[in-house]
Amino acid sequence: MVVQALMDQGVDTVFGYPGGAVLPIYDEIFQQNSIRHILVRHEQAAVHMAEGYARSTGKPGVVLVTSGPGATNAVTGITDALMDSIPIVVLTGQVPTFLIGTDGFQEADTVGITRPCTKMNWLAKDPSTLSDLIHQAFHVATHGRPGPVLIDIPKDVQFATGSYTAPKQAKVSHYQPRMKAEPASIEALVGLIEKAERPVFYTGGGLINAGTAACQLLTELVDATGFPITSTLMGLGAYPASGKNWLGMLGMHGLYEANMAMHDCDLMINLGARFDDRITGRTDAFSPHSTKVHVDIDPSSINKIIQVDLPIIGDVGQVLEDVLKVWKSRGRKVNEAAVAKWHGRIAEWRSKDCLSFRDSDELIKPQHALQRLEALTRGMDRYITTEVGQHQMWAAQFLKFDAPHRWMTSGGLGTMGYGFPASIGVQIAHPESLVINVAGEASWLMNMQELGTAMQFRAPVKQFILNNERLGMVRQWQELLHGERYSHSWSESLPDFVKLAEAFGAKGIQCSDPADLDEAIKEMLAHDGPVVFDCLVEKHENCFPMIPSGKAHNEMLMGEAQTQGAISGSGAALV
Amino acid sequence: MSALNIKKGSTSHSAYNLRDTHSDVVERHTLAVIVANEAGVLARVIGLFSGRGYNIDSLTVAEVDHTGHRSRITVVTSGTPSVIEQIKAQLGRIVPVHEVHDLTTEGQSVERELALFKVAGKGDKRVEALRLADIFRANVVDSTLESFIFEVTGTSEKIDAFAELMRPLGLTELARTGVAALSRGAEAV
């Protein structure tokens, strides 16, 4: 019944790991051919793979794990999906109903443990409503603000037979989030667009979730109005990085011109972003002179951190469609002279060239490595995932995305160990495409066991490890903030990554000389199979520009700036 | 935004928050949350308050519609206006939550709480306790030669006041139900 329900939901891939309490479902999987099961090496990785699958396809990812340790291992991945609003359906086995509450073997209160990290979860006690529940779970995961859901299925319920309900006959959930915004608020937004002198679009992961069509509407609106646009880490690719109005990413390690535009604008249009603390910096100094519009499908995002002037609840794609319609019918007006002047100011900020760095002939600079990776893969059918840390920020700064669903990173939770399994999930969904995980050596080691999964399922993922033998971002904060006392932020006893790859039967490449870099990257791209690329980079490079905690957007630190004492005591507590 | 003609203070009908949420004054609000009567819903609601650091001053929950599988959670909370708005929005996004009503801002409402007081004593104190109970229109629901159990129904303030009076007269135990509340008038939520 479970497998039938998954098939009827259009599921083609399940990421999982078997165990005692989930054997009946595995038995069903064995006896069919329409759903492919990817056997992971650790349950956390199963969820990250499902996330990579979901983010790169727009479809929900499905995870199947056993009770107890299977479920608890999945918790980090589930929390990651919750923070980044990724639709995931997790099925966990549970001890038989008559054993629940007796501390049975591999029993854990899965529903209790995962309650705060799921959008919704259920214990399926009744076989007769199980199929209904599974259909409802898919509905909840994918409607409104997407998120992970979990169904805990006791083993006796898995064995039981019951009548099956097809998705069309399933009970309609009362959960029907509002998609269409109030017409009056659309009119109000169009009015603001017509008059704005220093406008900026600030977009987020909500646009990626809203889908490709929504991103096309965004591109149409941005290009028709000529307003500059910046995006959060999660929203990269919604508007093409090659577009003429693109400012680059904003936030703590965002581009100077993007943050300055946010600070000095008179109209901020937030589309599917949530004023995260990495974006706003000091909230009482956040964009002090702007009228703020916030479009979000989740009412609880409105006024949570920043008080806005015009909140619009709805699906961002629908809102964009309505705004375009009204704006066109009212004569496509914008304050052209003022906006042109605004672009002039932005050009001045851009001329600071905030991403510049001092390159070297002897050592590979991480920024340089990413610039070369970008240059050598530009135009390819390419998907990028990342781990968490400096390399993640550099990847966001130096890699360019012209389409949505091409960039997968752990934004909200900041999960080290996300990127490698996510890259496998992406590769499974897109077997012919180039999938690269930009990693740091420390993050990568957190889920390196998945090299086995990549080999078994012939996922030719490229692991591009910027190896500085440091927890680079931790080290950077310790340098700037903790008197250069580098407490436990170096990577001791690292493996030989080439030998490690070879031990799994994969290819390993090491590169330490800038002169060899291009050839080595080409070798990586040419290999038909998983590659672990150990790129030995400058060990003490810091990630700039940077808004130190407790500072405003116009108080960015630049690369060559004096960094000592830049963060005040109160900012230190903000992380 | 007044041109939009949205019921003042409304949360379930509108996306707009029409109150001044910039104030730092801590307010006490009574929220009526209509939820699907299924396992784990109360845990989700309570987990929201503890997980996000909100206050629960009082909590009452029971099934109110057996055929419709609806329970009503009445929660009294306190916070600045922006925190209250956030609590309502966060409650609203819980999947099995059907409706969230802020009885404090959506017109007038009545609130009642029931409490049982065990008062032990002899002589003058016992007589005085009974006399005060009469003033408060408390019912005696259990009696021995040395004790009473009084039942008091009223606002939380009334119950606080009665408890203060009973304390020196031998109050030994107190049980309160928490607040139940309805909006005034013919309209149902």
Sequence ranges of the domains in chain B: 27-107, 110-182
What pLDDT score does B8 carry? Answer: 44
**Chain A residues close to B40, C-beta within 8 Å:** 111, 115, 121-123
pLDDT confidence band for A568 (50 / 70 / 90) = low
State which CATH number among 3.40.50.2000, 3.30.70.260, 3.40.50.1010, 1.20.1250.20 fits the domain covering B27-107: 3.30.70.260
Q: How confident is the model over A512-531, as pLDDT tens digits?
A: 999 999 999 999 999 999 99
Provide the ipTM. 0.87
What pLDDT score does A170 carry? Answer: 87
For tokens 């935004």, the residue is: B1
Contact assignment for A300 to B89 by CB distance below 8 Å: yes
Contact assignment for A184 to B16 by CB distance below 8 Å: no
Of the candidates B4, B82, B93, which has its C-beta nearest A299's C-beta? B93
**Chain A residues close to B90, C-beta within 8 Å:** 300
Angstrom CA distances, B109 to A59, A203, B186, stand at 46, 41, 12
What pLDDT score does B23 carry? Answer: 79
Contact assignment for A112 to B43 by CB distance below 8 Å: yes
What pLDDT score does A564 carry? Answer: 45
Of the candidates B39, B82, B95, which has its C-beta nearest A119's C-beta? B95
A47, pLDDT greater than 80? yes
* Residues near A241 by beta carbon (within 8 Å), at least 6 away in sequence: A248, A400, A401, A402
What value does the mean pLDDT of chain B take?
A: 89
Mutate to test the interface with A, among B93, B94, B97, B98 (most CBs of A within 10 A): B93
Q: How confident is the model over B112-156, as pLDDT tens digits?
A: 999 999 999 999 999 999 999 999 999 999 999 999 999 999 999
Contact assignment for B95 to A175 by CB distance below 8 Å: yes
User: Is A105 part of the annotated catalytic residue set?
Assistant: yes
Q: Sign of the C-alpha dihedral, residues A340, A345, A348, A353?
A: negative
What pLDDT score does A570 carry? Answer: 55
User: Is A523 part of the annotated catalytic residue set?
Assistant: no
Taking alpha carbons only, the member of A205, A129, A181 closest to residue A409 is: A205
Q: Do domains B27-107 and B110-182 have the same CATH topology?
A: yes
**Chain B residues close to A313, C-beta within 8 Å:** 15
**Chain A residues close to B96, C-beta within 8 Å:** 120
Contact assignment for A140 to B85 by CB distance below 8 Å: no
pLDDT confidence band for B9 (50 / 70 / 90) = very low
pLDDT average, residue stretch B11-29: 65
A203, pLDDT greater than 90? yes
**Chain B residues close to A145, C-beta within 8 Å:** 93
Contact assignment for B4 to A302 by CB distance below 8 Å: no
**Chain B residues close to A115, C-beta within 8 Å:** 40, 43-44, 47
User: Is A155 part of the annotated catalytic residue set?
Assistant: yes
- The residues on B that touch A, with CB distances below 8 Å, are 1, 3-4, 15-17, 21-22, 36, 39-40, 43-44, 47, 51, 82, 85-86, 89-90, 92-93, 95-96, 98
Of A260, A473, A524, A556, which residue is the catalytic one? Answer: A473
C-alpha span between B166 and B129 (Å, rounded): 7
Of A15, A49, A107, A155, which residue is the catalytic one? Answer: A155
What pLDDT score does A549 carry? Answer: 78
Q: How confident is the model over B43-84, as pLDDT tens digits?
A: 999 999 999 999 999 999 999 999 999 999 999 999 999 999
Of the candidates A111, A145, A299, which has its C-beta nearest B40's C-beta? A111
**Chain B residues close to A300, C-beta within 8 Å:** 86, 89-90, 92-93
CA distance A145 to chain B (A): 9
Please report which helix (H) or strand (E) contains residue A64, including its range: strand A61-65
Contact assignment for A311 to B47 by CB distance below 8 Å: no
Q: How confident is the model over A305-361, as pLDDT tens digits?
A: 999 999 999 999 999 999 999 999 999 999 999 999 999 999 999 999 999 999 999
Lowest mean pLDDT of A364-378, A463-477, B7-21, name the range.
Answer: B7-21
Contact assignment for A120 to B96 by CB distance below 8 Å: yes
Distance of alpha carbon A230 from the chain centroid: 17
Strands (E), chain B: 27-36, 58-65, 70-79, 97-102, 109-120, 139-143, 147-154, 171-183
A562, pLDDT greater than 50? no
B4, pLDDT greater than 50? no
B7, pLDDT greater than 70? no
- Of A562 and A364, the one with more pLDDT: A364
Q: How confident is the model over A170-179, as pLDDT tens digits?
A: 887 788 988 9
Please report which helix (H) or strand (E) contains residue A434, including its range: strand A434-440
Residue A285 φ then ψ, to 5°: -115, 15
CA distance A183 to chain B (A): 10
pLDDT confidence band for A558 (50 / 70 / 90) = confident
Distance from first CA to last CA of chain B, Å, rounded? 24
pLDDT confidence band for A219 (50 / 70 / 90) = very high
Other beta carbons within 10 Å of B50: 10
**Chain A residues close to B47, C-beta within 8 Å:** 115-116
**Chain A residues close to B17, C-beta within 8 Å:** 302-303, 311
Of the candidates B4, B22, B86, which has its C-beta nearest A304's C-beta? B86
Of the candidates A119, A144, A303, which has its C-beta nearest B21's C-beta? A303
- The token duo for A315 is 């699906």
Of the candidates A116, A145, A173, which has its C-beta nearest B47's C-beta? A116
Answer for the pair A240, A219: CB distance below 8 angstroms, yes or no: yes
Angstrom CA distances, A211 to A208, A286, A311, stand at 5, 29, 21
For tokens 């038989």, the residue is: A96
What pLDDT score does A316 carry? Answer: 97
C-alpha span between A14 and A25 (Å, rounded): 12
Contact assignment for B36 to A174 by CB distance below 8 Å: yes
Taking alpha carbons only, the member of B19, B20, B1 closest to residue B9 is: B19
pLDDT confidence band for B6 (50 / 70 / 90) = very low
**Chain A residues close to B15, C-beta within 8 Å:** 178, 181-182, 185, 299, 302, 311-313
pLDDT average, residue stretch A135-152: 97
pLDDT average, residue stretch A263-268: 97
Residues of chain A above pLDDT 70, percent: 97
Buried b (16+ CB within 10 A) or exposed e, A529-568: ebbbbbbbbbeebbbbbbbbbbbbbbebbbbeeebeeebe
Lowest mean pLDDT of A64-78, A154-168, A425-439, name the range.
Answer: A154-168
Our CA dihedral for A389, A391, A393, A396, rounded to 10 degrees, sits at -140
Grouping H, G, I as helix, E, B as strand and the rest as coil, residue B65 is strand
pLDDT confidence band for A72 (50 / 70 / 90) = very high
DSSP string, A488-504: T-B--S---HHHHHHHT
A559, pLDDT greater than 80? no
Contact assignment for B51 to A182 by CB distance below 8 Å: no
Contact assignment for A174 to B98 by CB distance below 8 Å: yes
Q: How confident is the model over A83-139, as pLDDT tens digits?
A: 999 999 999 999 999 999 999 999 999 999 999 999 999 999 999 999 999 999 999
What pLDDT score does B188 carry? Answer: 86
Residues of chain A above pLDDT 90, percent: 91
Contact assignment for A119 to B96 by CB distance below 8 Å: no
pLDDT confidence band for B3 (50 / 70 / 90) = very low
C-alpha span between A152 and A529 (Å, rounded): 36
pLDDT average, residue stretch A14-36: 97
Q: What is the DSSP letter of A529?
A: S
User: Is A257 part of the annotated catalytic residue set?
Assistant: no
A158, pLDDT greater than 90? yes
Answer for the pair A107, A95: CB distance below 8 angstroms, yes or no: yes
pLDDT average, residue stretch A253-267: 96
* Residues near A294 by beta carbon (within 8 Å), at least 6 away in sequence: A270, A275, A301, A302, A306, A308, A310, A311, A312
Q: How confident is the model over A484-517, as pLDDT tens digits?
A: 999 999 999 999 999 999 999 999 999 999 999 9
Ramachandran category for residue B16: left, alpha or beta (phi over 0 → left; psi -120 to 50 → alpha) = beta
- Architecture label for domain B110-182: 2-Layer Sandwich (3.30)
Residues of chain B above pLDDT 70, percent: 88
User: Is A473 part of the annotated catalytic residue set?
Assistant: yes
pLDDT confidence band for A574 (50 / 70 / 90) = low
pLDDT average, residue stretch A455-483: 95
For tokens 């709480």, the residue is: B113
